[in-house]
Amino acid sequence: MSARLLCFNSACKKTYGLTEVIYNCPECGGLLEVEYTRAIPEPAVWKKLWRERRMSNEPLSQSGVWRYRELFPFVENEADIVTLREGNTPLLPGPKAAAYAGVESVVFKHQGFNPSGSFKDNGMTAGVAQARRLGMKRVACVSTGNTSASMAAYASAGGLEPMIFIPNGNISYGKLAQALEYGARTFQVEANFDQILALVRILAEKLGIYLLNSINPFRIEGQKSIVIEMMDQRDWNVPDWIVLPGGNLGNVSAFGKGLREMLAAGLITKLPRLAVIQAEGASPFYEFMQHPGEFTANTHPETLATAIKIGDPVSWPKAWQEIVTTNGVVEKVTEQEIADAKAVIGACGIGCEPASAATLAGIKKLKAAGIIAAHADIVAVLTGNVLKDPDYIYRYHTGALEAPDGSPITPTFGNRPVVVPNDPERIADLIR
């Protein structure tokens, strides 16, 4: 087996060694991906091995990421790997959600069951393994969200120093609280996101800090495990559709790469169609797919689903390739549609954060448009845990939630707490 870094830009395609500390192609600035050249064994041999590992007490076999390491063999020394037993996320049927969307069935792959509560853990365990392999002592990212929560957890667990850079005054407390608790040094900078990114790149070079931002190709390798585990759980039966929210578009890039590689290895016999759902106020990829040509960033992305509030998604060239290859689609949904879909997922006893609920809202819209058939076999990926954003939930159910433009969101499925007197008769009447 051998692995290398390959420039994704088809006009360049330069390759680099795995231990070069680069984040973009030094030649053309393009995105990088990890490429493997190796003999492919019998698919049945791997499938059997992966099943056997599920019964093992050995840490890497217990990880729902590293159990499948044969499909991302970039690690040289397994001692570099830090696992918090990430992955192992369930497939949960949501009959009420299916009825809401007008389809026969929807199954949720719930990445919110991860150690830090989002799918970022699937990628971060791989990114941190690479940081340790490179001998780095410090890692950094620019994020207030799930990336910083996850990076803080994995870096601290692996004896590295996590450093988070955030724009001053632009904080989401739930996720930032996790990062603080996991011991990340946090710097609030008086600058915007792009300026901070430029600053962090200078610091990274100066101090030998490893960057674990969204373009890190090793994080993408780890995120492939989400679809690998999904296929294993379905006994390698490919669904018609995999539906996921899109922000920076790293996850759809990882899904597409993982699926193509599984097809090439003979582990699956066809590709599912990928459906990426964006929030209407942050939908540059949706707009691009309407008229592919020049990619135009949205300079003022707005949505309450903060995990997908991205105006200039770095991984769009990869995402575009994966949508084309899988005959996929990109859809956008409103704040009201996200909020109602989220409450329906909650009423299934499942729950998720706002960005994740874009999936169900998207399925409903694509079904209504005749793109998803009623009898389709659909897996929707819930990207984050319900407790990531409790403030949003309370506001929705009490009718106090407002869209970013100030317009009210109707609590269609609102579930308001009721104030009652300390009187058993009157409470009994109310319950009846």
Span 24-83, contacts to Zn ion by CB under 5 A: 25, 27-28, 30
> Looking at the DSSP assignment, which residues form a beta bridge with residue 110?
382
From the list 390, 397, 395, the residue with the least C-alpha distance to 418 is 397
Using CB under 6 A, which of the segments 189-197, 239-247, 340-348, 401-409 binds ligand PLP? 239-247
Distance in angstroms (rounded) separating the CA atoms of residues 301 and 299: 6
Q: List the beta bridge partners of residue 108.
A: 92, 380
| Interaction between residue 355 and ligand PLP (CB under 6 A) | yes
Q: How far apart are CA 18 and CA 134, in angstroms?
A: 9
In angstroms, give the least distance from the CB of 289 to ligand PLP: 14
* Nearest distance, CB of residue 104 and ligand PLP, angstroms: 26
Q: Is 257 in the site for ligand PLP (CB under 6 A)?
A: no
Q: What is the DSSP letter of 24?
A: B
Q: Is 246 in the site for ligand PLP (CB under 6 A)?
A: yes
Residue with tokens 């051998």: 2
Binding test (CB under 6 A) with ligand PLP, winner from 94, 127, 247, 411: 247
Q: Interface with ligand PLP by CB under 6 A: which range of 87-95, 205-213, 244-252, 294-302?
A: 244-252
The answer to the question of residue 12 lying near Zn ion (CB under 5 A) is: yes
- What's the min distance (Å) between Cβ of 257 and ligand PLP? 13
C-alpha separations of 316 from 16, 285, 300, 429 in Å = 22, 7, 18, 57
The entry of Zn ion, ligand PLP, none near residue 189 (CB within 5 to 8 angstroms by kind) is none
Find the part of the chain contacting ligand PLP (CB under 6 A) among 15-23, 37-45, 127-135, 352-360. Answer: 352-360
Residue 28 touches which member of ligand PLP, Zn ion, none, C-beta under 5-8 Å by kind: Zn ion
Q: Is 317 in the site for Zn ion (CB under 5 A)?
A: no
Angle of helix 217-233 relative to helix 250-264, nearest 10 degrees, comes to: 60
Residue 88, binding choice from ligand PLP, Zn ion, none, Cβ under 5 to 8 Å by partner class: none
Helix H, strand E, coil C: the string for 340-409 is HHHHHHHHCCCCCCHHHHHHHHHHHHHHHCCCCCCCCCEEEEECECHHHCHHHHHHHHCCCCECCCCCEC
The contact set with ligand PLP (CB under 6 A) reads 118, 120, 145-146, 214, 245-251, 307-308, 353, 355-356, 383-384
